[in-house]
Amino acid sequence: MSVTHAPETVDVLLRQDPELAEILLGEADRQATTLQLIAAENFTSPAVLAALGSPLANKYAEGYPGARHHGGCEIVDVAERLAVERAKALFGAEHANVQSHSGSSAVLAAYAALLRPGDTVLALGLPYGGHLTHGSPANFSGRWFDFVGYGVDAETGLIDYDQVRTLARTHRPKALVCGSIAYPRHIDYAFFRDVADEVGAYLIADAAHPIGLVAGGAAPNPVPYADVVCATTHKVLRGPRGGMILCGGELAERVDRAVFPFTQGGAQMHTIAAKAVAFGEAATPAFTAYAHQVVANARVLAAGLAAEGLVVTTGGTDTHLVTADPAPLGVDGRTARGRLLAAGMVLDCCALPHTDARGLRLGTAAATTQGMGEAEMTRIGVLFGQVVRGEIESQKAREEVRELVGGFPPYPG
């Protein structure tokens, strides 16, 4: 198997373990020849990949800089301190914990820092775009805490802020959670802060999806409003797969102890180094331009899908996310996703509020990283409609997708 542009990290495996190298090359080829529209995915920079494959992967480092449970941590301490300082500066936070292995583990640590089993938590209901960690009965959150779900308006698809306040007054939760995996609009953090103060609750912002836009100045910053902000370092932020927590100084020790030793052990120092690289990249003017282009692309794509006959929820987007119902084109979400995948267009399904149907969730972060702009989004929207309606054979559509992405390799040369 060959691939035009593969990360250099594969080279050593070609000599050492050709069987696994073929798998990695196959994935590199898949990424380079199909259109990546999954809202939670992106392409890291070669520098982030280099940090992930660095000697820091060999170091065990339970604890925090200056207070490790293993010797030989002098160098990795510097790397973690650098990541922390860059995160604090990037988001204007008094404290940052960069050890969480994922967004879910960051949320788990936030709950552990602020709550006790049985506490009541108010969060966006799962049928309206809430995450598993926002009260799913299959998740630790739904098993350990008493979640009450708020929703979105049936007509506009926007968060029902009146309902949020009413439910908060009725249930007096210990914490409010704002954040979503499928809500394409900005969240009114000031409103949630006001409600949390009224009922004496903590405010937890789950900013896994918009945090990269926050870094680039293309979305509101939850840090000034929330007691704790949980986030991922991949998605729009374009770093390694992992999580982080931002908070004020008064909660720093509780958050740190909730991460280690309460919810996880040794920190992944190579990932933390890669996070430091990503934070550094996100502080540049180039990333600011990128973040705004992500939003511009999403708005054009949303308009294109609407023009093709899909119903775009909330009527558009403020972020990288677009969610849409393909039912007017005569197919359900799963069928549409299958047709699009056969054509080389990779995206997800999502719940559609106030229905039992499944819609489509897509994002523009990865395609924008590749260098695509509004013209490409317009082209994608037209092809999207043709594929979902079955007006074009999947092989022909796949060839068009291959031609499109061929001009925007994720790792050129």
Residues marked active site are found at: 60, 62, 206, 232, 235, 241
Taking the C-alpha atoms of residue 393 and residue 386, their distance in angstroms, rounded to an integer, is: 9
Angle, alpha carbons 285-286-290 (nearest 5°):
115
User: 364 with 298: CB under 8 angstroms?
Assistant: yes
User: 276 with 283: CB under 8 angstroms?
Assistant: no
The three-state secondary structure class of 97 is strand
Beta bridge partners of 67: 64
Taking the C-alpha atoms of residue 221 and residue 211, their distance in angstroms, rounded to an integer, is: 8
Beta bridge partners of 33: none
Q: Which residue has the tokens 């898949």?
A: 30
Determine how many CB atoms are found less than 10 A away from the CB of residue 321.
30
Taking the C-alpha atoms of residue 305 and residue 172, their distance in angstroms, rounded to an integer, is: 41
Taking the C-alpha atoms of residue 326 and residue 344, their distance in angstroms, rounded to an integer, is: 18
User: 298 with 369: CB under 8 angstroms?
Assistant: no
C-alpha separations of 205 from 56, 214, 223, 340 in Å: 31, 13, 8, 33
Please provide the size of the chain in residues.
Answer: 413
